[in-house]
Amino acid sequence: MSIDLSTAPDRAPRPGRPAGSESAAAEPTATADPAAAADPAAATEPAAAAEPVAVPRPATIPRPAPAPAGPAQPVVARDRAELRAALVALDQRSGAHPRSAAEDEAGPARASSRHDRPVRAVVMTMGALHEGHASLLRAARTQADQVVATIFVNPLQFGAGEDLDRYPRTLAADLAVCAREGVDVVFAPTVIHDPPPLVQLSAGPLGAVLEGASRPGHFDGMLTLVGTMLHLVHPDLAFFGRKDAQQLVCIRRMVADLAFDVTVIGVETAREPDGLARSSRNVYLTPVQRTDALALSRALAAGVAASGAGAPAVLAAAGAVLAAADGVAVDYLELASPKDLGPVRSGPALLLVAARVGTTRLIDNISLILPTNAQGA
């Protein structure tokens, strides 16, 4: 499949008529003398040369007004070779060495190219883009010269009985969102690992709690895919939403432990006006279920309001909201350290909740500060 490597194709103005294209035959001719037309004999007499008739012309040939410019379309890469070509073209347009070559250089040459090249950001998604994803793309656009979005429903992070086949796939709409937010390249492959990888990354203890306790292997599959994407895209910055708090903790630890040369940036959770965290899975909710789902954000707000009284009060306040909600089956409600998801009794903490509303599993979380005094602890 060929790639259009122009993210913002320049459209030349529609040409006008070429200079000098008007021939003499195109000019209006002088009208014959009316008297000669009435008297045939008069036509035999030599006639004076007719004065040329002046034909007014516009100074310039009118052209139709240009159509309003729309958002530039991102380059769409559907496999690794197309992605590589698109990324090389991005660097070349900025006058930088393609980073795949630059990173094979040694010593000062590599260091120089690393600092002089454009800043590249990546936003990894599974598609079905909504305003939460758009906020990630906007954050990336404000901090990077190049923005790459990936759209891939990762089979490695879905367990048995989960909604891999049911997961929404809306590529045409997703590309429109990417265009609107100024994405340069969209990597939307049909497959990443073929055959499935024998070697996978492991989230270790971080992947065995909270979401990992309910979804064994989920974070191993997620990290394997994220690590692969980081190698393919070579970004300087990687943006992830804070709604998937455990995912963000795992990715940051992977990057630190395995020395990935990338900075991970967490972006605040995007919410609907009524407080519901934006999620691709929200489309599965019926109107009644969507109303029921608001209990998650209300529970988090209740927990924050009680945070001054310590950890037990936080869990009690949030739990009371969830217990009173109809149609909400709670999987977990936990306070955890934002660094390692371990137990926390004071200082910065995450309040995390997961629940099923109907058949749809939803997660949410909020940051808070627990008191350090003896009463709160």
Half-sphere exposure of 208 (CA within 13 A, CB side): 4
Distance CA 173, CA 125 (A): 14
Assess contact for 179 and 74: CB atoms under 8 A.
Answer: yes
Tokens 């995007």 map to which residue? 270
133 is catalytic: yes
Distance CA 169, CA 187 (A): 15
Q: Is 123 strand, coil or helix?
A: strand
Say how many Å lie between the first and final Cα of the chain, rounded.
Answer: 61
206's tokens: 């971080």
> Around Cβ 134, how many Cβ atoms within 10 Å?
17
Quick one: DSSP state of residue 271?
Answer: B
Q: What are phi and psi of 149, to 5 degrees?
A: -110, 140
Assess contact for 211 and 188: CB atoms under 8 A.
Answer: no
Helix axes 218-233, 245-257, angle to 10 degrees: 60
Active site residue: 97, 115, 130, 133, which one?
A: 133
Among 376, 364, 233, 230, which residue's Cα sits nearest to residue 301? 364
Distance CA 161, CA 169 (A): 18
Assess contact for 229 and 150: CB atoms under 8 A.
Answer: yes
Q: Which residue numbers are catalytic?
A: 133
